[in-house]
Amino acid sequence: MDIIFYHPSFDTQFWLDKLSQALPDARVREWKPGDNEPADYALVWHPPVDMLQGRSLKAVFALGAGVDSILSQLNAHPDMLPESIPLFRLEDTGMALQMQEYAVSQVLHWFRRFDDYHAQKQQARWQELDEYQREDFTIGILGAGVLGSKVAESLQAWGFPLRCWSRSRKSWPGVQSFAGENELGNFLQGTRVLINLLPNTSETRGIINVSLLNQLADNAYLLNLARGVHVVEDDLLQALESGKLKGAMLDVFSKEPLPASSPLWAHPRVAMTPHIAAVTRPNEAIDYIARTITKLEQGEPVTGQVDRTRGY
């Protein structure tokens, strides 16, 4: 069994060594331009087209929770990866816990009004503020996949009203579920904190725009943990300036790194991190990949395969 590996920034030798230990019967190598030798599996992130094109692979693994970079390449080069070759994304390889940590810490930051106290600190003001009430702090999660379910689960312990929106209705205990375009408005009405965990698809790009933001509760907050292309940044700034949004926490942007000229950098009610909400943790990812390849080789059922038409 031959495995080829490509990632533009990971420690390649570490991955090769660990994969060889996890799959001792496999021959694992780094793919380099000009390598046309046979391979059974490809492990990739932003792969060059010629890495995959023309190969008879058993499966391709994207080294992250999202596969939009591969799907966008397929739009331009449909023959890069035939439909018959399964495409897998990393499932819960430590990312869910990271998302839970991020979401809970930020929701509590806003709920306890630490953003307001920080603003007062900048003005040397000592003033106690009225507390927010949990029943008025409804949290809405856009996207109800694995990560969305884990984030909802982590927030339940804090007693906030919770709701989710997705293509199909969910049956999560203690979470009100909305489904489909017809129910998006009802989902948004009264939502005080909007957490975005949507997949990147043609239907979801630009979904967080002025129309959507205006349907949220007044003084709402936006937490974007999915993809920057979901948010129309000019509309976000407009909602912040109008007061409809009280604050935004952004981990992802339409252009990364975020250009120094972006007005988001200087906006006093925008906080940001450099796409670190949930990073690939090598040991967990390698364990998942090794287990999945072993099951594929033995003809056993597996999870994590991407539906290319849906984009996730």
Rounded-to-5 percentages of helix, strand, coil across the chain: 35, 15, 50
Half-sphere exposure of 129 (CA within 13 A, CB side): 16
CA distance 286 to 23: 10
CA distance 42 to 224: 30
Amino acid making up residue 310? R
DSSP designation for 305 = B
Task: Look up tokens 């290319």; give the residue.
Answer: 308
What is the sign of the dihedral through the CA atoms of 211, 154, 282 and 87?
negative
Q: What are the DSSP calls for 88-146, one per residue?
A: E---SSSHHHHHHHHHHHHHHHHHTTHHHHHHHHHTT-----PPPPGGG--EEEE--SH
275 an active-site residue? yes
Catalytic option among 7, 89, 163, 227: 227
Catalytic option among 113, 169, 267, 275: 275
167 an active-site residue? no
HEC-encoded secondary structure of 293-308: HHHHHCCCCCCCECCC
Task: Look up tokens 């509760």; give the residue.
Answer: 217
**In contact, 70 and 81? CB cutoff 8 Å:** yes
Beta bridge partners of 2: 27
Amino acid making up residue 75? N
Amino acid making up residue 301? P
Which residues carry out catalysis? 227, 275
